[in-house]
Amino acid sequence: EAQVTQNPRYLITVTGKKLTVTCSQNMNHEYMSWYRQDPGLGLRQIYYSMNVEVTDKGDVPEGYKVSRKEKRNFPLILESPSPNQTSLYFCASSFLPFDRLNQPQHFGDGTRLSIL
Amino acid sequence: AQKITQTQPGMFVQEKEAVTLDCTYDTSDPSYGLFWYKQPSSGEMIFLIYQGSYDQQNATEGRYSLNFQKARKSANLVISASQLGDSAMYFCAMRAGNTGGFKTIFGAGTRLFVKA
């Protein structure tokens, strides 16, 4: 089954304790992205990657790191989490064909992070 | 700067009636794609419909159609014959081309309530 898998689905942790949210897709997609969803703000892009070893900042990259060592994986790292990073996080992926723009993103089920 | 605006935080529609969800966008890039996604209460993100900036005709997908008015920079979603299962959050999104760095931005969303 084609899917984007995020883990964990839920996490409660404390300020300053490093954490990683994993994301893996089995559709051979070039484009992968992380978003955070907050009430009244919709989804905001944190980082995205056009291919292996290529990552770019989205609109809210501060406090986050990503890496793209393999095509299928795109982990999100919070080196020193703070309470303002409490949010619902989505990983997404898509193809980048010649047109590059018309591919819808496939989303994971989301990870709800609570930073105390 | 790129921007997506959804001015309707919430909307009600009677079952079997049509409803229009508004979306306006702003970008200086001539090449861009516009997407609508549905987020039910279960939380997953579901792709509904796509419109490219160079597409001559409005996109349609079953009961969903996109009213694309390029000069007005609007991309409204029309849902015909509403069903109770259409009750959800709806997001408009844009992915711009080269000058936009292939970022994706989302609007704040519109919560649709379908009444029986």
| DSSP per-residue codes, B18-32 | -EEE--EEE-S-S-E
Report residue A114's pLDDT band, with 50, 70 and 90 as the boundaries: very high
- Parallel, antiparallel, or unpaired: how do β-strands B64-69 and B74-79 relate? antiparallel
State the smallest CA–CA distance between residue B109 and chain A in angstroms: 6
Interatomic CA distance for residues B88 and A86, integer angstroms: 23
| Token duo for residue B100 | 């936009």
How do residues B43-59 score in pLDDT, each as one tens digit? 999 999 999 998 889 99
Contact B36, B49 (CB under 8 A): yes
Taking the CB of residue B72, how many other CB atoms lie within 10 A of it?
Answer: 9
Q: Name the A residues in 63-92 with CB < 8 Å from any B CB.
A: 88, 90, 92
| pLDDT at residue B14 is higher than 80 | yes
**Measured CA distances, A25 to A29, A51, A56, A105 (Å):** 7, 13, 19, 11
Q: Are A30 and A96 in contact (CB under 8 A)?
A: yes
Sequence-distant contacts of A77-82: CB under 8 A, at least 24 apart: A77/A18, A77/A19, A77/A20, A78/A18, A78/A19, A78/A20, A78/A21, A78/A113, A79/A18, A80/A15, A80/A16, A80/A18, A81/A13, A81/A14, A81/A15, A81/A16, A81/A17, A81/A18, A81/A19, A81/A113, A81/A115, A82/A15, A82/A16, A82/A115
pLDDT of residue A103: 82
User: Would you state the pLDDT for residue A94?
Assistant: 92
Tens-place pLDDT, residues A40-96: 899 999 999 988 999 999 999 999 999 999 999 999 999 999 999 999 999 999 987
User: Chain A residue closest to B50 (CA)?
Assistant: A102
| A47, A59 Cβ separation under 8 angstroms | no
Cβ atoms of B69 and B1 closer than 8 Å: no
B100 in contact with chain A, both atoms CB, cutoff 8 A: no
- Which residues in chain A have Cβ-Cβ distances shorter than 8 Å to B32? 101
Task: State chain B's mean pLDDT as an integer.
Answer: 93
